Structure 1
Amino acid sequence: MGTSYVAFIGFVMMFIIIYLLLKQKVSTMFAFSVIPIVSAFLVGMTPTNLGNALEKGLGMTTPVSLIMLFSLPYFMMMADTGLFNELVRKIVRHVKITPPVLTCLTIVVAMIVGMDVSITSIYIIAIPLLLPFYRKLHMSPMLLMFLTTLGVINTFDVPWSARMLRAASLVPNVKGGSIALFSKMLPTQIVFTIVLFALAIVLGIRIQHKNKNNGEINDDELEDTSQSTDSIQDDPELARPKMFWINIIFTIFLVVCLVMFPTIPSYYIFAFGLVVAFAYNYPDLKMQSKLLKKYSRSLMPVMPTILLSGVVVGVMEYSGMMKAMVNILLKIIPSQLGPWLYIIIALVGVPLMFLFTNDTWYYVMLPIVISIMKAYNIPGEIVVVTLFMNMGAMLTPIAQPQIYIGANMTGDVITIPQFIKKSFLPIWGLSIVWTLIGLMMGAFR
């Protein structure tokens, strides 16, 4: 079949997947596992060739899926033991609350709670906990949700997050997978985190100057307001306060192993951590079984989606669709812009995310961009880390419906349109800052 026809089928497949997912006509698993198969037969793949493509494609995503299988339950278990809640309580109880401190504290709390990579839990815990402080200091709940969202964004790239695992599945040739990508982004993120805290301090100082008579909560008020930490409720059956320091030390040990021993499969390190932490936190096997059933609900449908994304990548790569599509695009893209295409996409990534879901961003658009940039000798991992931080996802309920929960946690004083209107330009500006930092530090080139 002609190259133009194969490319046409590839583009049609891409647009059909995006349309169906945006309109919520089918599940992501259906879109990834059925539509590529139809496209494969339309371009003339035999069952044998299709089988080989599926085996290779799923082989790319299986290790990443296994990481999620063990890492997500581990951090959910640590959340159940009260580890992250106690960290937040200790911080809130031992700091003097002023507007600049509170704005920084908002980001810190969101980042700590976000260690279990649950955006829902970040909004459910951080906003009710800090809202009384904001009200006492006459600070807007909109600012609370905005800064909490920045904390969410700053946890996107922890190696066990669904986003990082999606990204790692796109570059299976990169040794170390999500750990390697995280390490690549870490210097950029350190600088970006400093930028976030600088922004938080500036916002806090402006509010402090504006409310000169309400610049600080005194000790009595702090004691009263600190009762809001009671909103962080641990399950009395699951909380393990006596294991707090052991769990911190053991978690740090696992992270060190991930970094220091890249030859050991990451999924085994998390599997080891999960079974050992279960053994000393919940030695009762019935309790372990109960918790595993509970955690398995969080694995669905994200883990199968990550696994089945290998069908899309495998079919596009080994049917010739990817190559044909790239050749067409290379003829269209001006030669002067070609080497900078992925940077241009990164700079306009926030508004682009209103046209994508997280899955279509990573599994439909990124593979095409990666293939295009190969023609300009830009490695796939560079493209992935540059386009990874799709911050616009936190502005659209299509990609991140949890923002409805964040708005609800403020007592319904914030609507989603209001949040988008107030946060769009700042978050887009921060996305551009992230890209420029990465370019200046050499991570994105």
Structure 2
Amino acid sequence: MDPALAGFLMVAVFTALIMSGRLAPAPALILTPLAFGLLAGHGTDLGPMAVDGLREVAPTGVMLLFAILTFSVLTGAGLFDPLVRAIVRRAGGDPLKVSLGATALAAVISLDGDGSTTYLITCAAMLPLYRRLGMRPLHLACLLMLVSGVMNLSPWGGPTGRAAAALGLDVSAVFLPLLPAMAAGLAAVFGLATVLGLSERRRLGVLDLREAEAEPEAEAGRAPRLLQMLNFLILAALMAGLIAPAFGVKTLPLPVLMMTAFALALTLNHPRPADQAAQVAAHAPAALSVASLIFAAGVLTGVLKGTGMVDAMSSALVAAIPEALGPHLAPAVAAASLPGTFFLSNDAFYFGMLPVLAEAGAVHGIAPADMARAALMGQPFHLLSPLVPSTWLLVGLARVEMGAHQKFTALPAAGVCLAMALAAMATGGF
């Protein structure tokens, strides 16, 4: 079987399996690539490919495993309770204000450029409020992912750096003209938050939660004020460690940083070994469910790369662009970035396809920086891909099905991408 055809079929079959609910994500992530690898003519070499994929995702899997444990301990100690109470007081039980508040909180936390951090902190703070009001967690997952997709275009977020490096450009030259597009994307997400909040207000009404702010069961096990200050310092140090590399400051590798934060949080809040073991056991199901998906995804990415399917898929997508689109190649690349980054990883798209597309654009007088910015327009849609580890974290934290999340969020994600592209074209971004 042709590698490109096998690759596209593999991703399509996998996506169909999880969206239809016919197979759980972890088995689909493992069995689908192995089956298509065999169909593509590979045999025992599939094992080393899968191991290579596992090596690539291992740091992410370890980081997410300990991140969930860390934030579970901090949440259980009541660290985010003041924030939730403040939002409750400000929102007054109004689903519209809660929806907008969750979006604003995610936008602020997303400044560190890491979607996993955004999901962990915002879900910890907002999901209890969503449940208390009876709001749909699917709405929260949608808003958080779209905010992350827009804010991830920061120079330290990943995609912008990849696009600049692939074309040998200064990252600031690519990023600064993107600011109007990012502003338009955020405006679109806040507009969506308004629509979703109004729909929930019509369904649920405005509730009075003033008497629910200090529920007895919510106070059980909460840390005293001094310990809460130490918990906050752990969180602040963790955030500083996450952001520091963007400013050229060396810090611990992210998995080690998260493991250290977990050890400190667990030891400070639960000094007795028996209580520490109980805490790990209590939060293990959530942590292992996400970590298992990350490691299973390593099999998929390993087979995609090892069989050459990724390279073949990139070449096929480039060849599919009609010659007549040459003078309008930048908008065409912006449109292609939605399916391109959905079916391929960011590395495959930006390092594999973008240089070829930029060369084609140069023939028609299109600057490489314009092509780079156009290729970044699909990032909000990219996060819907089952190949993105942080999205599995999001649906795990929000406790929604990946298929349901993809169905609900696909159209709004495309709309945010369109708003960003139109703003970029209107302001000379490409």
Residue 9 of structure 1 contacts residue 43 of structure 1 at CA under 8 Å; is this kept in 2? yes
Residue 146 of structure 2 contacts residue 189 of structure 2 at CA under 8 Å; is this kept in 1? no
Partner SS, residue 333 of structure 1: coil
The TM-score, its normalising length taken from structure 1, stands at 0.62
Residue 304 of structure 2 contacts residue 310 of structure 2 at CA under 8 Å; is this kept in 1? yes
Query: Who is 2:63 aligned against?
Result: 67
Q: Compute the displacement of 1:61 (Å).
A: 0.8
Partner SS, residue 271 of structure 2: coil
Query: Who is 1:209 aligned against?
Result: none
Give the aligned length: 369
Distance 1:391 1:330 in 2: 18
Distance 1:6 1:391 in 2: 22
Q: Compute the displacement of 1:328 (Å).
A: 2.9
Please say if 1:9 is aligned against 2:9.
no
Q: Compute the displacement of 1:430 (Å).
A: 4.0
Query: Who is 1:236 aligned against?
Result: 220
Partner SS, residue 306 of structure 1: helix
The TM-score, its normalising length taken from structure 2, stands at 0.64
Query: Who is 1:412 aligned against?
Result: none
Query: Who is 2:291 aligned against?
Result: 303
Partner SS, residue 221 of structure 2: coil
Aligned-residue identity in percent: 17
- Of residues 328, 353, 365, the one that matches 1:372 is 353
**Matching of residues 108-257 of structure 1 within 5 Å:** 116=120, 119=123, 122-126=126-130, 128=132, 150=143, 153-154=146-147, 191=183, 195=187, 226-230=210-214, 234=218, 236-257=220-241
Q: Compute the displacement of 1:55 (Å).
A: 2.8
- Of residues 280, 295, 298, the one that matches 1:292 is 280
Map Cα deviations across residues 384-421 of structure 1 (whole Å, 9 max, x no partner).
9654424996xxxxx99899999xxxxxxxxx9xx97x
Tell me: CA distance 1:402–1:266, structure 2 relative to 1, closer, same or farther (3 Å): closer
RMSD of equivalent CA atoms:
5.3
Tell me: CA distance 1:115–1:10, structure 2 relative to 1, closer, same or farther (3 Å): closer
Please say if 1:19 is aligned against 2:29.
no
Residue 10 of structure 1 contacts residue 325 of structure 1 at CA under 8 Å; is this kept in 2? yes
Tell me: CA distance 1:192–1:240, structure 2 relative to 1, closer, same or farther (3 Å): farther
Distance 1:17 1:364 in 2: 13
Residue 3 of structure 2 contacts residue 312 of structure 2 at CA under 8 Å; is this kept in 1? yes
- Of residues 253, 268, 283, the one that matches 1:265 is 253
Tell me: CA distance 1:9–1:150, structure 2 relative to 1, closer, same or farther (3 Å): closer
Q: Compute the displacement of 1:297 (Å).
A: 0.7
Q: Compute the displacement of 1:331 (Å).
A: 2.4
Residue 188 of structure 1 contacts residue 438 of structure 1 at CA under 8 Å; is this kept in 2? yes
Distance 1:341 1:89 in 2: 46
Distance 1:24 1:81 in 2: 36
Distance 1:254 1:404 in 2: 22
Q: Compute the displacement of 1:248 (Å).
A: 1.6
Query: Who is 1:327 aligned against?
Result: 315
- Of residues 52, 56, 75, the one that matches 1:56 is 52
Tell me: CA distance 1:188–1:124, structure 2 relative to 1, closer, same or farther (3 Å): farther
Map Cα deviations across residues 223-242 of structure 1 (whole Å, 9 max, x no partner).
x7522424695251355554
Query: Who is 2:271 aligned against?
Result: 283
